[in-house]
Structure 1
Amino acid sequence: MPALDLAGFPAREGAPLQRPWLRELRATLALSGPLVLINLAQHGLIMADVVMLGRLGAGELAAATLAHGLYFILFIGGIGLTSTVAPLIAEALGRMAGATDPVRRTLRAGLWAATLIAVPMMGLLWYTGPLLAAIGEPPALAEAAGAYMRVLQWAMWPALLFMGLRGALAALERPGWALAASLAALPLNVALGIWLAFPGSEAFPAGLGLGMAGVGLATVTSAIFSLVLLVAVVLCDPRLRRYRLFHRLWRFDPVLLGRVFRLGLPIVATGLAEAGLFEAAALGMGLFGATQLAAHAVAIQIAAFCFMVPNGVAQAATVRVGLAFGRRDGAGVRRSGLVALGLAFVFMTLCAGLQLTAPAALTGLFLDLDAPSNAGVLPVATAFIGFAALFAVADGVQSVCLGVLRGLQDTKVPMWVAVGGYWGLGVPLGAALAWGVGYEGYGIWTGFCAGLFVVAALLVLRWRRLTTGLLARPAAGGR
């Protein structure tokens, strides 16, 4: 019987024998490339929203930053459940290449999990305005953020469904379609946002002038569009139709759904611990005024954009490690992890250099620096971007380590590492420096750096310990 590739098709014969490290590098780049571009395209949607909101004014940008923070802390929690789809499918395919039933059942459980968690999260987001007012945010900011959220929240469910389906396609090494859907949604979001948010002008005479609500409505429309497009592709692609991914989608599988929740809940907690660190910072910045909050929004967007690359590498590492783990190949697990870590380290080092050398140019991408109302933002944003450069490498390393460990289906210990590092060290230290010492936003960013460095170091140690044990096990064969 001929060897099969991951999708169950005959492998190409006569290919030259490659060295394992080179083969792994090529496989990781081939898989991570589309995943990185998907992340960049999806974050491009966020950055486009930030740019449009910044053009509406610093006040609108500050209010939307508070809303985005709450939205994405819950969205990241939802992603924690849907992200289990990729390692579970990869591990199953590592054991038996070309299997169809576990792929279909796992995706179905992931989509059910996304639905079950999206409904209560959207209900909570409806009360964003009162929640922000209750914790002491300025009333005008809280009211504006709440009005914006009542539009934006409707993107939650389709966006989580998209993430679950994207995970299945990544495990099947078919991420290109998710990339195409994300790229198609980006210009739609920008065009709709400009049309809906801004009043009519010579360039766009039919502008509706809905302000922040227009930006939110464009985001919701783009989320639905990308999901519908990806579903249509899955139904039409002959290499994906064989899996019948949506067959009996309504069936409730409590056994597999329970496995998704057992594996995913620690990932949820890990994501919430990190996202909560940044959201706590945004809320704290709001107490120091719109200038520091706007500068924080700029610096966070730049850091988050750079983070999309190691995050995509981490997603690829989850699949690569999951395949090796499924066939009990300890050397393959170690090799996949090292290749992914090396790629993240190199890229984030380059990003840190750019942030240190061109902070004004980067800030100008988000704010009109010639506007008098933004004059005080640039020096603060420059300092915050400098802090972002300091933690860039640690941020990339911890992301890839989490991806590698998820490929090993190890999620509980990383959860405690993240909770301890971010909330046991980062938040208390940032609060002490911001309010106790009087460093304000600069103290908060110092807490960022400390928490990320500690988490990255502990996760590397955890990965080394687990892979040392796996190296002693014989491989079970396979791809």
Structure 2
Amino acid sequence: MRATLILAWPMALTNLSQMALLATDAAFLGHLSTEALAAATLSGTLYWTMLAPGFGFSFAAAAMLAQERGRRVGHVRAMRRTLRAGGWAALLAALPGMVLLWHGGAVLRALGQEPGLAIHAQEFLRFVLWGIFPFCLFLTLRGFMAAMERPWPPLLIGVLAVPLNALLDWVFIFGHLGAPALGVQGAGIASAGANLFMVVALALFILRDRKLRRYRVFGRFWRLEAGRLLRVLRLGLPVAAQMLLEIGLFSAVGLVMGPFGAQAVAAHAIALQIASTTFAIPLGLSQAATARVGLAIGAARPRAAWRAGWTAIGLSTLFMGPMAAMMLLAPGALTRIFLDPMAPGAPETAALAGTLLLFAGLFQLSDGVQVVAAGALRGLHDTQVPMVIAGLGYWALGFTAALILAHPLGFGPAGIWAGLVIGLGGVAAALTWRWARLSRRGGLTAGRRLAPIPA
């Protein structure tokens, strides 16, 4: 438990700091105009969706790096080659997303969004997209630091990026210190600049650290090894697809909320923001589980991998239990943080948000368990079956149930969130069953099927 927490908490706090970047943009744009804030909100949904492939390949590289370090023999050269392949995979993942975000306004209009807001969103996206590749590369380097069990430098850099982003927002949105007032475009510049700072700062730390320097992680970085790259892609594509399925589910739920009116959309946004904040902690535990399970498998210690996976799942349950209780027992207190009680429609929005938070409380445990179980399975290099489970659970089960409960059965927005409870519960049960089955045998068959590439 101690080893898992030492690795997981810095990673969880790093996740929160990354969420804070777009939240900072939204806070500054909210003081510019409501249209700018709405455009940033729409942009954020599209932006995070396009980051899913980058997360997938960085998580795959992290799993490979952990197993290679656990093997010890020849691990320095093997890790350097995997990290280089992970960087190229990050570039390949970033390019399609950058192209789509460049035309983000047209995409949002095609999804039925208001043309004026779509134009403002495109102004933001055409600048923030230049930060996607640096951010994906930062994620890959963070996976290397996790495999080295050094999570604190990425956390410090991520925390420093938040005030830097705020400063750049202040300068470029409103035109201070001699800079032009660029409005929404300035927020995009600020976020891209913060992402560039994070990857440069972490790269400099790795180059200057005495223990990390010997890995020469940037040596011949321009070389493209097809075999190693294909391994990262084969392992990472299912992870990227799984993340797209989950992010796409919540994005689709947001769109389905639209016909129920502005208050339903606002209540959904409040409940989702609270649930996303608590989710950052299990996500950190998931990343720690990938690293610790991978290290144990690489060292041929299946019993240690079994302990690492179940410990992370148990810790996630211990954390999400009180979070669920808080949402179930005090939903009104949480919603008041986001609403001015004197604003028009605030009482109705608060009441609906409180109802949705009750459902968020019901899926806290399953949401925490499913993401950690998926992380433990990544440590075994088992990604294809979890992707299928995610597709069936999130969409065939969860989204279908949401539509049926919301419309034919007439439960409205509450029915949509009840569908999320059903979908997340199904995925959590299936992924936990798979982890139990693979780890129970001691042989951890998924890890054996994918024999390690020689260094």
When residues 58 and 375 of structure 1 are mapped into structure 2, their CA distance, relative to the original with a 3 A threshold, is: farther
Distance 2:317 2:73 in 1: 32
Distance 2:200 2:261 in 1: 41
In structure 1, what is the equivalent of residue 451 of structure 2?
none
Query: 1:439, CA displacement in angstroms?
Result: 3.7
Query: 1:358, CA displacement in angstroms?
Result: 3.9
Of 328, 332, 355 in structure 2, the residue corresponding to residue 383 of structure 1 is 355
Matched, 1:189 2:165: yes
- The 8 Å contact of residues 51 and 366 in structure 1, kept in 2 or not, is answered as no
What are the Cα deviations for residues 212-269 of structure 1, in whole angstroms up to 9, with x where unaligned? 4333332222111111111111111111101001000000110100000011111111
What are the Cα deviations for residues 311-343 of structure 1, in whole angstroms up to 9, with x where unaligned? 111111111101111122221111111110111
In structure 2, what is the equivalent of residue 394 of structure 1?
366
Query: 1:416, CA displacement in angstroms?
Result: 0.4
Matched, 1:122 2:98: yes
Matched, 1:86 2:62: yes
| Counterpart amino acid of residue 290 in structure 1 | A
When residues 296 and 192 of structure 1 are mapped into structure 2, their CA distance, relative to the original with a 3 A threshold, is: farther
In structure 1, what is the equivalent of residue 213 of structure 2?
241
Matched, 1:355 2:331: no
When residues 51 and 439 of structure 1 are mapped into structure 2, their CA distance, relative to the original with a 3 A threshold, is: farther
Matched, 1:420 2:392: yes
Deviates more, 1:87-96 or 1:371-380: 371-380
In structure 2, what is the equivalent of residue 271 of structure 1?
243
In structure 2, what is the equivalent of residue 434 of structure 1?
406
In structure 1, what is the equivalent of residue 266 of structure 2?
294
What are the Cα deviations for residues 92-121 of structure 1, in whole angstroms up to 9, with x where unaligned? 121126721011111100000011121121
Distance 1:356 1:388 in 2: 8
In structure 1, what is the equivalent of residue 308 of structure 2?
336
| Counterpart amino acid of residue 65 in structure 2 | I
When residues 126 and 472 of structure 1 are mapped into structure 2, their CA distance, relative to the original with a 3 A threshold, is: closer
In structure 1, what is the equivalent of residue 133 of structure 2?
157
Query: 1:395, CA displacement in angstroms?
Result: 0.6
Taking structure 2 as the reference length, what is the TM-score of the superposition? 0.91
| Counterpart amino acid of residue 68 in structure 2 | A
Give me the identity figure in percent. 44
Deviates more, 1:36-45 or 1:350-359: 350-359
More helix by share: 2
When residues 175 and 472 of structure 1 are mapped into structure 2, their CA distance, relative to the original with a 3 A threshold, is: closer
Distance 1:293 1:54 in 2: 17
The unaligned stretches of length 5 or more in structure 2 are 446-455
Distance 1:218 1:34 in 2: 24
Following superposition of structure 1 onto structure 2, how do residues 169-208 of structure 1 map, counting pairs within 5 Å?
A: 169-197=145-173
Distance 1:389 1:61 in 2: 28
Matched, 1:469 2:441: yes
Query: 1:183, CA displacement in angstroms?
Result: 0.9
Deviates more, 1:119-128 or 1:369-378: 369-378
What are the Cα deviations for residues 367-396 of structure 1, in whole angstroms up to 9, with x where unaligned? 444444756532232222222221111110
In structure 1, what is the equivalent of residue 122 of structure 2?
146
Deviates more, 1:152-161 or 1:45-54: 45-54
- The 8 Å contact of residues 387 and 445 in structure 1, kept in 2 or not, is answered as yes
In structure 2, what is the equivalent of residue 106 of structure 1?
82
Query: 1:361, CA displacement in angstroms?
Result: 4.2
- The 8 Å contact of residues 129 and 142 in structure 1, kept in 2 or not, is answered as yes
In structure 2, what is the equivalent of residue 13 of structure 1?
none
| Counterpart amino acid of residue 23 in structure 2 | M
3-state secondary structure, aligned to 1:470 = coil
| Counterpart amino acid of residue 20 in structure 2 | G
- The 8 Å contact of residues 54 and 367 in structure 1, kept in 2 or not, is answered as no
Of 388, 394, 408 in structure 1, the residue corresponding to residue 380 of structure 2 is 408
Distance 1:119 1:139 in 2: 26
In structure 1, what is the equivalent of residue 449 of structure 2?
none
Taking structure 1 as the reference length, what is the TM-score of the superposition? 0.86
Deviates more, 1:166-175 or 1:362-371: 362-371
Of 254, 276, 291 in structure 2, the residue corresponding to residue 282 of structure 1 is 254
Query: 1:306, CA displacement in angstroms?
Result: 0.6
Of 280, 291, 295 in structure 2, the residue corresponding to residue 319 of structure 1 is 291
Distance 2:129 2:263 in 1: 26
Distance 1:306 1:208 in 2: 38
Distance 2:365 2:152 in 1: 27
Deviates more, 1:211-220 or 1:178-187: 211-220
Query: 1:436, CA displacement in angstroms?
Result: 3.3
Query: 1:57, CA displacement in angstroms?
Result: 5.8
- The 8 Å contact of residues 22 and 44 in structure 2, kept in 1 or not, is answered as no
